Structure 1
């Protein structure tokens, strides 16, 4: 990888750390955050002949996309799916060009299911597998419950949570109530829905939960992880790792960005791509402070947590399905494991707690978290062998993320996502939480990075009084011509 990290950055540092005077130079921008949005923005601006520096607080790029290789093969500890396995996906050209295989887990473009129903194997707490016909029957009941819940949003102007809506539906339509094992399976479907939004059902907006735009083609796992794409986009960029931004001074004369409370960088504009959780925590001091409408959006959008506890075994002892689930009388008591062996051939199960359960597990040590995940597995597969290695994510408490991804909170308008994206003078914003179409997705973050770069380019060049250069930039593909289309490598083993 050809990043210019701290050891060989002196040539660029002199420009960015000037405090006075305009040199005869290219237009400049500072990108804050090295996730997909930030890398996409920096890549696009570099192609537009901007001087760009990217400041990243971690010791790696990728943000909430993190492909770990410590097992000897790639495992995505953050984002792992491509939602919308199709050429319309903004990332498809990069995936195709790099020849990265995709394992399609669902052909259904659904907010509820990123796996087809037949790919589940559910078990009760005693280790007995739930009959597949019951799993599918209750799945259809759950869809009916949500259809009835959606009718409630037209009865009142007031929003309510998904949990409240489901309770009302059950009171009105007693035939939808489930008993015994069927109720436990229903709670598991609710648990999976909470996993999609990374929060509990009593936090999810009834009015807006299904407003995300879903691209065609279903959902697919990135078999080799997302790192090859982010590395390709980052090639040749001026990236400063371990540079935690603490203050941004912005205005008509440019921006001054303070890192680690002492070092400063100057440029014509800045693109802020840090996670929503970081903005909520006010780790970055904006001077002057952001407008009220912008702060209202930051405060009003929800941010949830879903973590991964990855268990590596020396052999496969589980059924050849994509998802193993444990049903329970409450959604909190349910759990599920993603079977990576099905997609990648590696003997790995990934336990994926979300919402309050994820929050509770984050209080544990990594060792205890791995033991807890294995105990859930042992409940359903008594012959399970101990894992030989494990990995644990901490997206909710990691100071660089403070959450996994955004969701529509109860009583908050969906327009908040667009408000968060709208620039303020020469300050631009990108990231999954600024994408009102593809919220919470990697391609959503990527597309907002390109949008912010284009807006920044136009704003800065207008300031320079050079309207003739406004047409020169085509950021969507960077160095890849837009006409090039390489077929996606899709499998379903």
Structure 2
């Protein structure tokens, strides 16, 4: 360690690599950063991973305070198939998946076959009405394609829905059916973690969803995080304040003034952190990169997980509450069906998720219990509850990226593009429209590591000495099937 004055600023300590191996600093200990670090570590690079939190995982957070794992961040695997880049890890670790939807689910992580809806007074809504309104909603969304084709300028999905309903009075819903339609819009908003008036009509359905439907990680995502982190040099509670990118070296300075010098850096912090300019770049980021950061949306979704002493709700995967606006609708994921534990998870997205964060944990839990008690008058008080605050969490400032109205077509490419010795990972830069997914974040980390490695080897002329090797400990043999259940 040594002291250093850089550009007139006193840097308290500098950690220089005492190794002849090429060195990379990975910023962010979510799955993308861990995937990048793992790939470079296994290719004999010296890797230092800096994470601002006191834990790994980032927007993956498996909590054990109920006595068993509950995912408070990402919880689904989108694409329960061998083509999923996470499949080898999941198989190798023997993790179980609970499938909540089949192949045809582009918009929801549930087929909506196993669910029950209630009105605000707690009356159960006839399933026939729910199915009919669901069919009407699909037809409305199909009609929005025509609206998209007629307009050169982008608009929000919600605006397009209103245009369709103006043209097709037969698709309009009245009374209770209208409230059910609002619930379907609420579920669509949950997929993007954003309100329908913010989501791009041009891009909303362009996502490439892998086959196999969607599956909940029964043991949580934590075992994958632990496996990727094995033997990596990880520094927790290291919040990066500044990144100085020179012609041959990168210097990364953390909040306490300590500097780390390396051949390159991979930045995998959430888009919300880049949007808030919480990291100072020297030289400044070029305008095209700044524009890419602002052109993309960053949504918010929160969970209120409630543990009960007994199950008082029906054996369905999803419980919903309908209302006159999508904002006022709500839904609960029944973890008992997937894991056998008496837990309901209330989920809120978009503006409603942000507004929930203004309440205390106790007030948020009371709000949820009021809804539950209308649906189930015999509902007991929760034994314990957990409330997330992803939107105001200083390490994330939101959940995952989505396509804002008017987003230029090359925004993701610009966000992904390297800058000299700086490479970008994270879910927002994933290829093939897998943004917002864990496997997308993982793939983006692998891709950033491979690009970074190629850049360094070319610059240092190391081509013969180092080659990329598959991650140690990963099992790639497809003979190990994915363990999938559906009760």
TM-score bracket, shorter-length normalisation: over 0.9
1:225-374 alignment to 2 at 5 Å?
Answer: 225-374=220-369
1:32-431 alignment to 2 at 5 Å?
Answer: 32-431=27-426
Aligned partners of 2:306 and 2:384 also within 8 Å: yes
Encode CA deviations 1:56-96: one digit per residue, 9 max, x unaligned: 00000000000000000000000000000000000011111
Query: For 1:483 and 1:281, how far apart are their aligned partners in 2?
Result: 43
Query: For 1:383 and 1:91, how far apart are their aligned partners in 2?
Result: 41
Give the deviation of 1:379 after TM superposition. Answer: 2.2
Question: Does structure 1 residue 491 correspond to structure 2 residue 480?
Answer: no
Unaligned runs of 5+ in 2: 1-12
1:443-458 alignment to 2 at 5 Å?
Answer: 443-458=439-454
Partner of 2:3: none
Aligned residue pairs, count: 474
- Aligned to 1:163, the other structure's residue is in SS state helix
Q: TM-score, normalised by structure 2?
A: 0.95
Give the deviation of 1:134 after TM superposition. Answer: 1.3
Partner of 2:456: 460
RMSD of Structure 2 on Structure 1 (CA)? 1.4
Aligned partners of 1:208 and 1:414 also within 8 Å: no
Q: TM-score, normalised by structure 1?
A: 0.94
Unaligned runs of 5+ in 1: 1-15
Give the deviation of 1:478 after TM superposition. Answer: 4.5
Give the deviation of 1:128 after TM superposition. Answer: 1.3
Query: For 2:134 and 2:323, how far apart are their aligned partners in 1?
Result: 15
Encode CA deviations 1:93-115: one digit per residue, 9 max, x unaligned: 11111111100000134232211
Partner of 2:9: none
Aligned partners of 1:43 and 1:234 also within 8 Å: yes
Query: For 2:303 and 2:39, how far apart are their aligned partners in 1?
Result: 32
Give the deviation of 1:413 after TM superposition. Answer: 2.1
Query: For 2:91 and 2:161, how far apart are their aligned partners in 1?
Result: 41
- Aligned to 2:306, the other structure's residue is in SS state strand
- Aligned to 2:468, the other structure's residue is in SS state coil
In structure 2, the CA distance between the partners of 1:491 and 1:24, relative to structure 1 (3 Å rule), is: closer
Query: For 2:372 and 2:72, how far apart are their aligned partners in 1?
Result: 19
Query: For 2:68 and 2:316, how far apart are their aligned partners in 1?
Result: 21
Aligned partners of 1:256 and 1:265 also within 8 Å: yes
Query: For 2:328 and 2:403, how far apart are their aligned partners in 1?
Result: 24
Aligned partners of 2:79 and 2:213 also within 8 Å: yes
Q: Which moved more, 1:95-104 or 1:376-385?
A: 376-385
Aligned partners of 2:330 and 2:347 also within 8 Å: yes
Encode CA deviations 1:297-349: one digit per residue, 9 max, x unaligned: 10110001000000110000001000000011110110000000000000000
Aligned partners of 1:30 and 1:269 also within 8 Å: yes
Aligned partner (choices 14, 18, 21) of residue 17 of structure 1: 14
Encode CA deviations 1:239-262: one digit per residue, 9 max, x unaligned: 000000000001212100000141
